[in-house]
């Protein structure tokens, strides 16, 4: 297959701009956690409404990811990136200026939609702009942004509250997106290249039935999870079997759409015939169950258990963020040479680091917990940086460019579902242990970290299986090449 790709001379500058915008949208998944007490005091929101400030964003973000990727594939990623970025800036300002809790929740729902439309354009633009080893480096930076945005959210949130005060500091958690987004928009207009694409008609190119079915499926999974703090699992458990039914109907509809030679929302062959995509997406989703779920647990442990301020709590997990930042950038350069070995090694280090934190929480004194946990969190962070960016590269490496946006959106959707599951499970375990052990926070942290390590170990098992499958595919390709090259008798 020939590739007439001509590298754009400003591709790295364009990548920097799109990653800065993507960082904002992903950061807003976690940064608001530390601002919830400030929000409750500032506008008098009750606990349930305040929780929806976090959960509503995560819900709508996850709902529109795949649709956003498909729109980028059909209408052009530059156009969708600019539209989504403008919407994200506007909704961020709307959230910061919200006069009451109801308005704030509405603003966060809209902001989540804008973030979900924005994020898949990043992976799609990387597929468009880069090839070969450069693509690995680009995805390495993208993976670093995904990992770091989740890890540093509590730190930045704590800093903003410390600078602007508890009463109105929460507003600046949203306002800070406005100047960054405006600068990114202006630079994107100049640097992100236009692509000549065929004119697409929304009526024929967009699978509206598929969007509805997938949306109902994701809603049925995410809504009970994001409502778990408000007894959502007990009240809304019946949505899970409904989600399974809608998911099966979605797969049937997408196959039917392909058979009738119409444009599907997700071509299911992406999972069945694209080498490495299905296992890579599974590794990412399961890893995020453990990785993304630990941050709320650490916040509860440090703030409720040890009396730390939000800033102190955020700084206590900084070693993970630092380790992840460095290793993600390095790992992106090593993907062409080491491949799936990187993710296997990274998952092993994350498992080791989390188990060590669990043991230290059980055995060690809690007075200096932030220092005691620093080394194992650094090890886990180094491992985490070796997971996200290489796994993203390897999962998307065989995806056709025309499907890059929807493939990236589906990958991110799995990660968002994993985040919701992990946060609900680990926070639920932590609170159950604290309530059942008379406030024994170290024991609660121990069990929660072991649960996170269990998720990571499952991802590690899948990684080892995919490593062996890749070796088998390579051996088959080499054998086929030798057979075709042998002279006929």
List, in sequence order, every beta strand (DSSP E) within 333-388.
Answer: none
* Nearest residue to 149 via CA among 388, 336, 372, 421: 388
CA dihedral 392, 397, 402, 407 (to 10 degrees): -30
Q: Which residues of 106-128 are buried (b: 16+ CB within 10 A; e: fewer)?
A: ebbbbbbbbbbbbbbbbbbbbbb
Q: pLDDT at position 65, please?
A: 82
* Nearest residue to 430 via CA among 323, 296, 279, 303: 296
One DSSP character per residue, 445-486 reads: HHHHHHHHHHHHHHHHHHHHHHHHHHHHHHHHHHHHHHHHHS
How many angstroms separate the Cα of 200 from the Cα of each of 69, 107, 207? 15, 30, 13
Q: pLDDT at position 142, please?
A: 77
User: Which distant-in-sequence residues (6+ apart) come within 8 Å of 152 by Cβ?
Assistant: 27, 314, 318, 321
Q: Quote the CA–CA distance of 118 and 52 in Å, as a whole number.
A: 21
Rg (CA), the chain: 22
* Nearest residue to 456 via CA among 373, 335, 344: 344
Under 8 Å between Cβ of 314 and 157: yes
Q: pLDDT at position 311, please?
A: 77
pTM of the model: 0.79
Under 8 Å between Cβ of 428 and 448: no
DSSP 31: G
Q: Quote the CA–CA distance of 71 and 340 in Å, as a whole number.
A: 30
Q: 11-193+265-475 adopts what CATH topology?
A: Growth Hormone; Chain: A; (1.20.1250)
Domain boundaries, the chain: 11-193+265-475, 207-264
* Nearest residue to 172 via CA among 107, 241, 96: 96
Q: Quote the CA–CA distance of 180 and 184 in Å, as a whole number.
A: 6
Give, for 147, the enclosing helix (H) or strand (E).
helix 132-164
Q: pLDDT at position 309, please?
A: 79
Q: Quote the CA–CA distance of 388 and 292 in Å, as a whole number.
A: 12
For each of the chain's 489 residues, which pLDDT tens digit applies? 445 556 778 888 888 888 888 888 877 767 777 777 778 777 877 766 777 787 778 778 877 888 888 888 778 888 889 999 999 999 999 999 998 888 998 999 999 899 888 888 877 788 788 877 777 678 777 777 776 776 677 778 878 888 887 777 888 889 989 998 999 999 999 888 876 555 555 566 677 888 888 888 888 887 787 776 666 677 888 988 999 999 999 889 988 888 887 777 777 888 888 888 899 999 999 998 888 778 878 888 888 888 887 778 778 888 888 888 788 878 877 887 888 899 999 999 999 999 999 999 988 766 788 889 999 999 999 998 889 878 888 888 788 777 777 787 788 778 878 887 887 788 888 888 887 555 688 889 999 999 999 999 999 999 999 998 888 877 766 556 555 555 544
Instruction: Dig out the tokens for 483 from the structure.
Output: 């057979």
CA dihedral 126, 110, 420, 255 (to 10 degrees): -60
Under 8 Å between Cβ of 262 and 441: no
Q: Quote the CA–CA distance of 290 and 270 in Å, as a whole number.
A: 26
């Amino acid at each position: 297959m020939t590739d007439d790709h001509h590298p754009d001379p400003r591709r790295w500058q364009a990548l920097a701009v799109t990653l800065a915008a993507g960082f904002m949208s992903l950061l807003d998944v976690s940064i608001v956690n530390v601002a919830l007490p400030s929000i409750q005091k500032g506008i008098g929101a009750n606990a349930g409404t305040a929780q929806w400030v976090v959960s509503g964003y995560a819900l709508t973000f996850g709902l529109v990811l795949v649709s956003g990727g498909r729109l980028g594939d059909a209408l052009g990623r530059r156009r969708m990136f600019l539209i989504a970025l403008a919407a994200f800036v506007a909704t961020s300002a709307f959230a910061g200026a919200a006069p009451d809790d109801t308005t704030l929740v509405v603003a966060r729902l809209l902001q989540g939609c804008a973030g979900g439309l924005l994020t898949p354009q990043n992976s799609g633009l990387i597929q468009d702009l880069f090839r070969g080893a450069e693509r690995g480096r680009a995805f390495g930076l993208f993976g670093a942004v995904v990992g770091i945005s989740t890890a540093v959210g509590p730190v930045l949130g704590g800093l903003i509250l410390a600078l602007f005060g508890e009463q109105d500091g929460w507003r600046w958690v949203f306002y800070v997106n406005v100047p960054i987004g405006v600068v990114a928009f202006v630079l994107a207009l100049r640097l992100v290249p236009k692509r000549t694409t065929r004119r697409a008609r929304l009526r024929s190119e967009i699978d509206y039935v598929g969007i509805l079915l997938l949306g109902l499926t994701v809603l049925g999974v995410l809504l009970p999870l994001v409502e778990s703090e408000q007894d959502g699992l007990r009240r809304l458990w019946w949505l899970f079997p409904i989600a399974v039914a809608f998911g099966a109907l979605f797969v049937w509809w997408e196959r039917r759409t392909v058979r009738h030679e119409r444009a599907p929302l997700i071509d299911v062959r992406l999972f069945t015939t694209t080498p490495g995509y299905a296992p890579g997406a599974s590794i990412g989703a399961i890893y995020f169950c453990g990785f993304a779920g630990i941050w709320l647990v650490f916040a509860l442990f440090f703030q409720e258990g040890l009396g730390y301020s939000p800033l102190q709590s955020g700084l206590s997990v900084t070693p993970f963020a630092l380790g992840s930042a460095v290793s993600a950038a390095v790992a992106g350069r090593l993907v062409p040479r080491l491949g799936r070995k990187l993710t296997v090694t990274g998952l092993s280090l994350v498992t080791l680091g989390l188990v060590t934190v669990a043991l230290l929480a059980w055995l060690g004194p809690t007075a200096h917990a932030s220092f005691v946990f620093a080394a194992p969190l650094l090890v886990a962070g180094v491992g985490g940086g070796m997971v996200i960016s290489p796994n993203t590269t390897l999962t998307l490496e065989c995806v056709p460019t025309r499907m890059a946006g929807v493939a990236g959106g589906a990958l991110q959707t799995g990660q968002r579902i994993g985040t919701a599951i992990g946060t609900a499970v680990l926070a639920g375990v932590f609170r159950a242990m604290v309530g059942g052990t008379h406030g024994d926070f170290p024991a609660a942290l121990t069990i929660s970290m072991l649960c996170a390590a269990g998720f990571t170990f499952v991802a590690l098992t899948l990684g080892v299986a995919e490593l062996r499958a890749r070796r088998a595919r390579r051996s088959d390709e080499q054998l086929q090449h030798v057979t075709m090259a042998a002279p006929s008798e």
